[in-house]
Amino acid sequence: MVELSAALAGQHNNILAKMVPSPIRVVDDKFSTIDGILKLTLGEPDFAAPEHIKQAIIRDVQADDSHYSSSQGVLALREAISDYLVDRFDTPRYDPATEVSVTVGAAEAISATFQALFNPGDELIVPTPTFPLYASVAQTLGIEVIGLNTAPDFIVTPAKLTAILTAHPNAKAILLNYPSNPTGVTYSETELKALVAILREHQLFVIADEIYAELVYDAKHTSMARLLPEQTVLISGVSKSHAMTGYRIGYVVGPAELMKQVGKAHQAMVATAPGPMMAGALEALRNGREDPEKMRVVYEERRDLVLAGLAEAGFTAAQPGGAFYIFAKIPDFLNTNDTEFVYDLADTVKLGVAPGSIFGAGGEGYIRISYAASTENLKSAITRLKHYVDLRK
Where in 201-260 is the site for a second copy (CB under 8 A)? 203-205, 225, 229-231, 243-248, 253-258
Q: Which is nearer to a second copy, 18 or 332 (CB)?
A: 18
CB closer to a second copy, 77 vs 317: 77
Q: Does 26 help bind a second copy (rule: CB under 8 A)?
A: no
Calculate the alpha carbon distances from 155 to 79, 131, 184, 209 in Å: 33, 14, 10, 15
Residues between 334 and 353 that touch a second copy (CB under 8 A): none
Report DSSP letters for 315-328, one per residue: -EE----BTTEEEE
Q: How far is the CB of 27 from a second copy (least distance, A)?
A: 15
Cβ neighbours for 234, distance < 8 A, ≥ 6 positions apart: 85, 91, 208, 210, 223, 224, 225, 252, 253, 254
Binders of a second copy among residues 134 to 193 (CB under 8 A) are 136-137, 140, 172
**Is residue 276 within the footprint of a second copy (CB under 8 A)?**
yes
Among 227, 273, 282, 342, binds a second copy (CB under 8 A): 273
Q: Does 108 bind a second copy (CB under 8 A)?
A: yes
User: Stretches 39-47, 123-131, 144-152, 350-358: which one binds a second copy (CB under 8 A)?
Assistant: 39-47
Per the CB < 8 A criterion, the answer to whether 317 and 327 are in contact is yes
Q: What is the 3-state secondary structure (H, E, C) of 216-276?
A: ECCCCCCCHHHHCHHHEEEEEECCCCCCCHHHCEEEEECCHHHHHHHHHHHHHHHCCCCHH
Amino acid at 17: A
Rule CB under 8 A: say whether 54 interacts with a second copy: yes
Taking CB under 8 A as the criterion, the residue among 29, 32, 52, 61 binding a second copy is 61
| Nearer of residues 32 and 157 to a second copy, judged by Cβ | 32
Interacting span for a second copy (CB under 8 A) from 154-162, 275-283, 362-370, 376-384? 275-283
Which C-beta is closer to a second copy: that of 8 or that of 166?
8
Phi and psi, residue 93, nearest 5°: -85, 115
Tell me: does residue 8 bind a second copy (CB under 8 A): yes
One-letter amino acid for residue 375 of the chain: T
Give the count of beta carbons closer than 10 Å to the beta carbon of residue 135.
Answer: 19
Task: Give the nearer residue to a second copy in terms of CB position, either 274 or 365.
Answer: 274
**Considering only residues 33, 35, 36, 62, which one is a binding residue for a second copy as defined by CB under 8 A?**
62
Shortest reach from residue 280's CB to a second copy, in Å: 8
* Sequence-ordered list of residues with C-beta below 8 angstroms from that of 384, at least 6 positions apart, any chain: 38, 349, 350, 351
**Candidate residues 116, 284, 367, 378; the one interacting with a second copy per rule CB under 8 A:** 116
User: Per-residue contact track with a second copy, 68 to 97, x per CB under 8 A?
Assistant: xx-x--------------------xxxx--
Q: Tell me, what DSSP letter sits at residue 314?
A: T
158 C-beta neighbours (distance < 10 Å), count: 12
Nearer to a second copy by C-beta: 255 or 314? 255
Rounded CA separation 170/172 (Å): 6
Rounded to a whole number of angstroms, the minimum distance from the CB of residue 385 to a second copy is 25
Interacting span for a second copy (CB under 8 A) from 41-49, 184-192, 352-360, 377-385 = 41-49
CA distance linking residue 10 with residue 18, whole number of Å: 11
Q: Does 57 bind a second copy (CB under 8 A)?
A: yes
Query: With contacts defined by CB under 8 A, how many residues of the chain interact with a second copy?
Result: 90
- Of 75 and 159, which CB lies nearer to a second copy in the complex structure? 75
Q: What is the largest CA-CA distance in the chain?
A: 62
Cβ distance to a second copy smaller for residue 274 or 292: 274
Q: How far is Cα 10 from Cα 23, in angstroms, rounded to an integer?
A: 23
Cβ distance to a second copy smaller for residue 37 or 109: 109
Query: Rounded distance, CA 364 to CA 373, Å?
Result: 24
CB of 140 to a second copy, least distance (A): 6
Q: Is residue 283 classed as helix, strand or coil in its secondary structure?
A: helix
CB of 151 to a second copy, least distance (A): 26
